[in-house]
Chain A
Amino acid sequence: MKILIVDDEKDVELLFRQKFRKEVKSGVLELAFAFSGEEALKVLDSEHPPKVVYVFSDINMPGMSGLELLNQVKSHFPEIQVSMISAYGDSQNYEKAMQSGAKEFFTKPIDFESLKVEVNKLIESQK
């Protein structure tokens, strides 16, 4: 199962790879990374149909914001689930994300325990 993580902070990749080290090693999970909304869309567009089933995206990024990416993904790849990760856990962002069809809304600093729960639910459902 492949998930895509979108964040303009590149160190996020290292962090996720270590956090899901066992899952990746055992082959149940495949991680892909993009550092902007535009790059994320390119990654999704590179495979037809895309292998990615879940996108975790930061909201605050230069250029296309996470919320715009959410709309784009939902309109082009409605089957892919999207959850938002934001440093600004305000209700305005939360409501916008939920209205646009986001599955979950995580606030930074990322609570990897709840994130893992979400990913494990996903892995279970894929089996």
Chain B
Amino acid sequence: MNLGVILLILLFYLRRPMGPIEVSAEWKRIINGGMIAAFVLWAFSNSGIPIISQVALFLNFGLGALIVYLTLRNPELQHRKGMIYAWLPLMGLIVIQEFLELISPSFFNSIEVYHSTATFFAIVWAVVMWINNTKQRKALEQERLKTLQKEREYKVTEALKAQLEKQVQERTKEITQKKNELEKALQELKSAQDQLIHSEKMASLGELTAGIAHEIQNPLNFVNNFSEVSAELIDEAKEELDSGNQEDAKEILEDLKANLQKILHHGKRADSIVKGMLLHSRSNSGQKEKSDINALTDEYLRLSYHGLRAKDKSFTADFKIELDENVEPVEIVPGDIGRVLLNLINNGFYAADEKKKELEKAGQTDFMPTVWVKTQKIQNGVKITVRDNGNGIPDEIKSKIFQPFFTTKPTGKGTGLGLSMSYDIITNGHGGDLKVKSKPGEFTEFEIIIPQTTKS
């Protein structure tokens, strides 16, 4: 084996990339130079020209030493260390052989057997190392492929991530937009509801107006009449005094005093009706205050009756009121409870009147539409019952009557909000309960329960 050939093989492999590792362009140039030098030195050392072939041989040793040194020490070439270790024993043996053949061929001949054995092992070593290096190189190559694969996967993942992020952003935008739209719709619904509640209040105020006019007119008439008659009585009293009838004059004065009390009473009555009307029309729910349930019930029964009466001249009905003296003042919003009472009582009169009209068509005229209103003290509160002898509520719609917009009245006659608002006022507004009992064809009875201590 010739050293020059080994050097050429070493340089050739140094130049080639190993797995992912590749030497720089500069090193490649240096290695190219090295290969040319090795080739030239090899050619000269085999030329057989005395002196020159010897010099070339020694230079070849130097070049070999340089390659081994650089490969083992330079960081850029260290990956080829394994190759150097594989060839190093063989190179060493060749150097020893050449060197000995040059200075003492007889000595070399005496150890040639050992040298040959060593060369054999060196070759075996080189082959084993070569196989081992190849394995390592393949492993490295696989590593490189794996890395590449991972990089590709990473890139794909990144692209997917970016796409997902974009989609998420789009969806978020869509959802935000939807949310805003829904919020707007909710807002619109809320204001529509407020408007409906307001118009329902106004509608019931309209129903009330006629009743209120009648209710105010009555006390005003009394105020006027009692004032008038009092003026007359004063003249009469003067006449009696002139004619010396002291007793009669005193009697007239007593009457006058009573009249003034009556004027005050009816003035206050008108005053409270006007206040009640204002309370009713107020659009925000008023403050809770201790109220006389009996007085309120009586007032709204009258307002309802006279209101209907004034609107429809042919309307005739009877009402009975039964007030429990033991009912204590209850914390309520008077306007709200008044609205509930008005609504239930109006419904009662309406139902009873409808039945009357039906019976009249059938030739029966002895039916008297009647509404019964009753207050009753119960444990921790008050119960108000409103009952009518109308046609009752069929079982199939009983569950619907408290739903907003449910009405059996002809279009334009009812908003369908009366009972649902009443239910809301009693349950949510006053922590009470509103129940209905009915027997179709016979009666309907609403029961309002208001607890004494309402949760606010």
Contact = CB atoms under 8 A, between A and B. Distances in A.
Interface of A: 9, 11, 14-15, 18-19, 21-22, 60, 62-65, 68, 87-88, 90, 92-93, 96, 108-110, 112
Given A62-B305, A87-B214, A108-B217, A15 B318 contact: no
Given A9-B218, A87-B214, A92 B313 contact: yes
Q: Among B236, B266, B313, which residue has the most Cβ atoms of chain A within 10 A?
A: B313
A16 B310 CA distance: 25
Nearest to A36: B318
A90 B255 CA distance: 34
B314 to A, nearest CB: 8
A18 B266 CA distance: 17
A18 B221 contact: no
B318 to A, nearest CB: 4
20 contacts: A15-B229, A18-B229, A18-B233, A19-B229, A21-B233, A21-B236, A62-B319, A63-B319, A64-B316, A87-B214, A87-B217, A87-B218, A87-B221, A88-B214, A90-B313, A108-B217, A108-B218, A109-B221, A110-B221, A112-B225
A11 B224 CA distance: 13
B222 interface: yes
Contacts of A19: 229, 232
Given A14-B262, A60-B306, A93 B313 contact: yes
Interface residues of B, number: 29
Contacts of B262: 11, 14
A113 to B, nearest CB: 10
Given A62-B319, A87-B217, A112-B225, 13 more contacts: A9-B222, A11-B266, A14-B259, A18-B259, A19-B229, A21-B233, A63-B318, A63-B368, A87-B214, A109-B221, A109-B224, A109-B225, A112-B229
B226 A15 contact: yes
A62 B224 contact: no
Contact of B318 (A21, A62, A96): A62
B242 to A, nearest CB: 15
B214 A110 contact: no
B229 A88 contact: no
Contacts of B305: 62
B309 interface: yes
B247 interface: no
Contacts of A90: 313
